[in-house]
Amino acid sequence: MSLRNYGALAICAIATLVIGLAGCGGTANGSSAGPATASGGISPKKFADAVHAVMMADRTVYTKHVVNRLKSQESPVTPSEYWKDEDNTIPLPAQMFRMGSEIVSEDEEAGFQYALKSKWPLNEQNKAATPMEIEALDYIAEHDDNFYGEEELGGKKYLVAVYADKAVANACFDCHNNHTNRAADYPEFKMGDTMGGVIVRVPLD
Amino acid sequence: MLRYGVAIWAVTLAIAMSVPFAYSLLVAEPSVGKTLFLPGETTHGHYQIELKCSACHVAGGGVNNDSCRDCHQALKEYDTHPAKKFRDPTNAHRLEKIDARECVTCHREHEPHNTSEMGVTLPTNYCVYCHDEIAKSRPSHAKFEFNTCTASGCHNYHDNTALYEDFLFKHVGEPDVLDDPHVPPLTHDVDPAKRVSEPDAPQQVKFNETLASDWRETAHAASGVNCNGCHQQKLDDVQGPQWHDQVAIETCEKCHQNEHDGFVQGMHGMRLAVGLPPMTVGAARLPMKADAAHRQLSCVSCHDDHRFDTRYAAVDACLKCHDDQHSLAYKSSSHYELWLAEEAGAAAAGTGVSCATCHMPRVEKDRKVVVEHNQNATLQPSEGMVRTACMNCHGLQFSLDSLADPQQIPNCFATKPSVHVESLEMAKEWFEAKEREKEARKKK
């Protein structure tokens, strides 16, 4: 993917972010984007920051204005892990997030991939899959900062940008703390804790 | 120089010869001659369309996932292992062992010596490639071999809709036969104001009163569908609608889209879906009745025209052709006794069990209960039948045990299952242990 393409995608992403924030007033995590490249394009790091901002804005809108609204109205429609199988249910915010990442992964022109992973995954699919992911999830759990690195997978080089995913609503950590898949060493999460990380992977070749 | 010239001629000749060869395989109409190019016997699922190479193969000879998905559309709805899950580059090390992004990694065609159930051409312990650490998160699984994951009625690679833990736990303790066993009633969109009773066929068309009488009893007459509605067909852009005694499947499709789409995805209609002539009974690999060999498969093969008796279509139409052990055992089963009781008015509607009850189950689509006309949809693999058919009347444990018992196929589920699937007990133990842990945490 050329830097020009990154630039175009980032402009779209940033535009969506601005519109999204104007609607919900939420904030997105991570902002230590690098400078634009010498050729006038946008750096992969800045691109990763931008798409992450959009992801978080969208999830904030879904959580705040869909899930919480249904709850506050005591609606018969509720979020459920088994939403595909139960009437009057909608996906959990984390599931909505993962479904979005699967759609992006199907789009070979998208130019990046992302995932929500954790040191304490309830679903084994969401555990760190590479040494760098292990390092990154450790880092964001211990620092109030994003993680950036480069790794090679399947013969291709990637920028790996990882952003802390924090407990922002009681429903998030209540459900996680009481989930049947929690392992014996699972933490008792509370508001503001880092529960996992959003991993954005951008090819560099 | 001479050698160089010979090489150019050889390459030119090869290209010249390969073009008609490729044309004959991928573009030309199927012919007996094409069988010469089949690299090996085709599987049960694909042999009907084996002479239409382009139904599966793309230019260059390969097979891409889109060709598979065109027919196996149900997988899109519930696939546990969709290709998109494996596009994350962190799967690179897994894909080196087994490229789960491609259907043909597990399902290679034309390899009969190497093919097991469901057209799988991998060794049956393929789950180990990715789930070798399963015993860490599920200690109860430490005792199992990896070739038992899918063979024991516990897991499926694609369809786990009746097998996932939460579903199992919700259905623990159900009786073998539920308290009110019956299939859901079909949704009928018939407007009584539209009923017609006088046939509108042109004068020159001859028909007898029996035929007209049959038609008056149908949902067609009740819905205002008269003779011309089916027989006046516009088959090309040159001529206007003309009367045809034979009704094309495309005419049925206009009103019965769901039924048509299911039909052409199953073994009965799959040849039509790729532009081949209809399947004939004589061409089937399953044992069929000799006197039915000439019959072609279309809507009216099962739904006798003008009467369109769905109860006939549900049993007798099947047994008119099918002659295998499973089909022949049906009339000795308790399922058939229930069917007869309903026929006689001695049992409530929906309590009888026909061939169609299990193989063409009533399913909900777009808030309507319709008949799934792809009779293979629940057989890929047969656990697909659990929720759509078995659980209308039976508990989950009984359903899983029955489908896991190889003896139940030839005897048409005439006896109680002799196999026991452990997964419900395991799910119960798992959830109860987790509940105890939760209580212990609260006390701390």
Helix then strand count (H, E) for chain A reads 6, 6
Residue B363 has pLDDT above 60, yes or no: yes
Beta carbons of A153 and B438 less than 8 Å apart: no
**Mean predicted confidence (pLDDT) in B280-285:** 97
Beta carbons of A154 and B92 less than 8 Å apart: yes
Residues 6+ apart with CB under 8 A from A89: A77, A78, A79, A80, A82, A83
CA closest to A125 among chain B residues: B85
Q: Tokens representing B131?
A: 């789930």
Using DSSP bridges, classify how beta strands A156-166 and A194-203 pair: parallel, antiparallel or unpaired. antiparallel
Q: How many CB atoms lie within 10 A of CB B220?
A: 19
Residues in chain B closer than 8 A to A120 (CB atoms): none
Any A CB within 8 A of B444 CB? no
Distance of alpha carbon A8 from alpha carbon B357, whole angstroms: 55
Sign of the Cα torsion A136, A137, A142, A144 reads positive
Residue B79 has pLDDT above 80, yes or no: yes
Buried b vs exposed e over B230-266: b needs ≥16 C-beta within 10 Å? bbbbeeeeeeeeeeeeebebebbbeebebbbebbbbb
Residues 30-89 of chain B with CB under 8 A from chain A are 78, 82, 84-85, 87-89
Residue B29 has pLDDT above 60, yes or no: no
Chain centroid to CA B140: how far? 33
Average pLDDT over chain B, rounded to whole? Answer: 90
Any A CB within 8 A of B367 CB? no
Residue B342 has pLDDT above 80, yes or no: yes
Residues in chain A closer than 8 A to B137 (CB atoms): 124, 181, 183
The residue type of B154 is C
Residue A200 has pLDDT above 60, yes or no: yes
Chain centroid to CA B6: how far? 54
CA distance A31 to chain B (A): 25
Residue A69 has pLDDT above 70, yes or no: yes
């490249």: which residue's tokens?
Answer: A37
Q: What is the pLDDT of residue B4?
A: 66
Which percentage of chain A shows pLDDT scores above 90?
68
Least confident of A88-102, B59-73, B413-427: B59-73
Q: What is the pLDDT of residue A5?
A: 46
Any A CB within 8 A of B434 CB? yes
Phi, psi of B172 (to 5 degrees): -65, 140
Residue B385 has pLDDT above 70, yes or no: yes
pLDDT tens, B218-267?
999 999 999 999 999 877 777 788 899 999 999 999 999 999 999 999 99
Residues 6+ apart with CB under 8 A from A159: A44, A45, A48, A148, A149, A150, A201, A202, A204
Element (H, E) at B232: strand B232-233
